[in-house]
Amino acid sequence: MMSVFRYFMLFVMLFITVGIVSAQESESIRGLHKVKRKETIFGISRMYDLTIDELLNANPEMKEPGYELKKGTELRIPFPSNAVKTTQSVQTEPAVQQNQTANTSQIASAKKSDDLTKRPIRLGVMLPLHDINGDGKRMVEYYRGILMACDSLKSLGISVDVYAWNASEDGDIHQIMDKKEAQNCDIIFGPLYSKQMEAMSFFVDRHDIQLVIPFSINAPQLTTNRHIFQVWQSPNDQNEAVITQFLNRFKDYHPVFIDCNDSTSTKGVFTASLRRQLDQRNIKYSLTNLRSGEENFAKAFSRTQPNVVILNSSRSPELGVAFSKINGLKAVNPELDMTMFGYTEWLMYTRTHLENFYKYNAFIPSVFHYNPLSTATQRLQQKYRWNFHADMQNALPRFAITGFDHAYFFIRGLHKYGRTFNGAAGMFGYPPVQTPLEFERYGNGGLRNKAMLFVHYTPEHRVETIKF
């Protein structure tokens, strides 16, 4: 009998325990969500103002290896960890979306009433800050440039609180975004990886944070999110801007296109687009080839107009052959007036081709100009060496100087104009050390950088930059 009674009591206690657990679980669950076609875990968590971990913890089966979110699945929707639990059932999407909008609006309103011009700017950095691979090493140098800018801004009376997180490629960026310090940032630099953009875009929109995307990643959110600044310019955007400038600057020149027989080159996209624009304007131009004989090569050049020469390759060997052909032509025809129109890659070959750049009045379009002879560049390189006991990486552009330019531009802009700062031309005069910035609104979405320049090597052996 005692044995029977003991098992009975165990059964009763087990029943009570299960009942308590079930009651606690139901108390923490505010409703169910039926998965629709094309919905994602991130999208559903966003819909209900949850972190992904909160959604997964409420639905442990989602943590199983190989789990797939399928249409028709019912998910348990918990209360957010920072929310006050209520008895109100959450069964319909419209009600949830209304709550989310209200929460987001409250956060945004609180920040909008905060005067950035009268307190330290809170700056966040979410980039791969590690020493594991090239991405990490480059971003560490970029981050050091940001720190140097913050130090320089002290002399202007501008204080900055800096928060930095290692947002590695395989890391969980949601863990960073859950931090209070991240949510309180005024501006964030990052991310480096396209797969982190969806989460980042939602995060900065919700918390009214400006997001600066410094490098070349896919960010379709730019079209809809007004908090985003995209520094990188696509090759198509660059080509379009450069062609416009070419047509204006060289409208009285005779264009000469030289085929370099380079099967690896992608510059044919640019030359083909430029030729189409010339055709539409009925502007005559000549075509020739590096393999052409001297006589046929010479026929491509005008004797009555200045010539502007365009290659369909950016490689140094082909450029060297082109200069050799042009030097031979010039020796026989010294009266010929010639200007070279180049590519950003040519800036890497200055040691080899510098004299010819000067000789032929070279114009090189670029989004940056690293000038090792400028006082500002030398000062930053010395400061970097002093602070970090290392030299900047031998790369173009210099990542530390890029970070310096970006941070100086945005922090100073936020300090002066607050949240109305949009990076437009004329808001304040900052002469960049290496990287010009000027932003324009992209439709109803964010802002993208449109600043470009010509690096011009003059026959007087000067180097000037012409912003456009």
Provide the pLDDT for residue 254: 98
Look at strands 453-457 and 463-467 and give their pairing: antiparallel
Same domain flag for 270 and 284: yes
CA distance from start to end of the chain: 96
Q: What is the pLDDT of residue 441?
A: 96
Exposure string over 359-389, b if 16+ CB within 10 A, otherwise e: bbbbbbbbbbbbeeeeeebeebbebbeeeee
Q: Are residues 224 and 262 in the same domain?
A: no
Kindly state whether residues 361 and 379 are assigned to the same domain.
no
The dihedral region occupied by 69, where left means phi > 0, alpha psi between -120 and 50, and beta the remainder, is beta
Residue at 47 is within a domain: yes
| Spatial CA neighbour of 41 closest among 167, 174, 171 | 174
At residue 11, the pLDDT reads: 39
In a domain, 13, yes or no: no
Q: What is the pLDDT of residue 372?
A: 94
* Residue 323, domain member (yes or no): yes
CB 453 within 8 A of CB 365: yes
Same-domain pairing of 181 and 151: yes
What pLDDT score does 345 carry? Answer: 97
Q: Answer yes or no: are the C-beta atoms of 458 and 464 closer than 8 Å.
A: yes
Residues 246 and 328 in one domain: yes
The tally of domains found in the chain comes to 3
Model pLDDT for residues 398-426, shown as the tens digit of each residue: 999 999 999 999 999 999 999 999 999 88
pLDDT of residue 248: 97
For residue 331, the model assigns a pLDDT of 96
Q: Which of 366, 395, 422 is the last residue of a domain?
A: 366
The enclosing H or E element of 30 equals strand 29-34
pLDDT band at 97 (very low <50, low <70, confident <90, very high): very low
Instruction: Name the DSSP letter for residue 268.
Output: H
- The verdict on residue 67 lying in a domain is yes
Q: Which residues contact 444 (CB under 8 A, 6 or more apart)?
A: 223, 224, 226
Q: Which amino acid is at 436?
A: P
Task: Decide if 9 is inside a domain.
Answer: no
Distance CA 445, CA 440 (A): 10
Q: What is the pLDDT of residues 285-314, one digit of tens each?
A: 999 999 999 999 999 999 999 999 999 999
Interval 107-112 mean pLDDT:
58
* Same domain as 194, residue 120: yes
CA distance 82 to 178: 11
Say whether both 130 and 223 belong to one domain.
Answer: yes
Kindly state whether residues 163 and 48 are assigned to the same domain. no
Query: Are 247 and 361 part of one and the same domain?
Result: yes
Pick from 323, 332, 258: which is nearest to 295 by CA?
332
Judged by average pLDDT, the poorest of 74-83, 219-228, 435-444 is: 74-83
Residue pair 357/319 in contact (Cβ under 8 Å)? The answer is no
Q: Both 253 and 209 in a single domain? A: no
Pairing of strands 286-289, 439-441: unpaired
Tell me what pLDDT residue 53 has: 73
For residue 461, being part of any structural domain is answered with no
Checking DSSP bridges between strand 254-259 and strand 286-289, what pairing results, if any?
parallel
182: enclosing H helix or E strand: helix 180-183
Determine the structural domain holding residue 83 and report its residue range: 24-112
pTM: 0.76
Cα gap 340→359, rounded to integer Å: 9
Strands, E assignment, 290-410: 307-311, 338-341, 363-366
462 part of a folded domain: no
Indicate the helix (H) or strand (E) that contains 464.
strand 463-467
**Is the per-residue pLDDT at 89 higher than 50?**
no
Tokens of 298: 């010479």
Same domain, 171 and 132: yes
- Decide if 316 is inside a domain: yes
pLDDT of 146 higher than 80: yes
**Closest of 306, 273, 241 to residue 468, by C-alpha:** 241
Separation of CA 457 from chain center: 29
Q: What are the respective helix, strand and coil percentages of the chain, to the nearest 5? A: 45, 15, 35
Q: What is the CATH number of the domain that holds 64?
A: 3.10.350.10
356 and 240 together in one domain: yes
Last residue of a domain, one of 366, 388, 422: 366
Span 176-192, average pLDDT = 97
Q: From 325, 349, 366, give the residue that closes a domain.
A: 366
Q: Hey, what amino acid is at 240?
A: E
CATH number, residue 380:
3.40.50.2300
Please check whether residue 256 is in contact with residue 307, taking contact to mean a CB–CB distance below 8 angstroms. yes
Distances (CA, A) of 234 to 59, 401, 403, 407, 425: 41, 21, 20, 22, 20
